[in-house]
Amino acid sequence: MNVIVYTQDMCGYCDAAIREFTRRDWDYTVHNIKNTINYNNLKELIPDLKTVPQIWIEEEHIGGYDDLLVWLRDSDDVY
């Protein structure tokens, strides 16, 4: 599973998303937006960005943590 997560420090939803990927034993890459390059890359992908985490699974933009829970519920029989 190819998972990319944009996060920031002290973000409970970011931590919860990462715990979910770890629980499922999925490989993931984390990009902390405290790093200016990561922030600029995310703003390029989502210009009207309001929240993190922002999650991509297999190059599909899922959205934030709540969106992830819906995606997992709807995809649980597949993954």
- Strands 60-63, 54-57: pairing is antiparallel
pLDDT reported for residue 31: 98
Residue 9 has pLDDT above 80, yes or no: yes
Q: pLDDT digits over 23-42, tens only?
A: 999 999 999 999 999 999 99
Q: Which CATH architecture has domain 3-75?
A: 3-Layer(aba) Sandwich (3.40)
In whole angstroms, what is the distance from residue 53 CA to residue 65 CA? Answer: 6
Per residue in 37-79, pLDDT tens? Answer: 999 999 999 999 999 999 999 999 999 999 999 999 998 766 6
Distance between CA atoms of 65 and 14, rounded to whole angstroms?
7
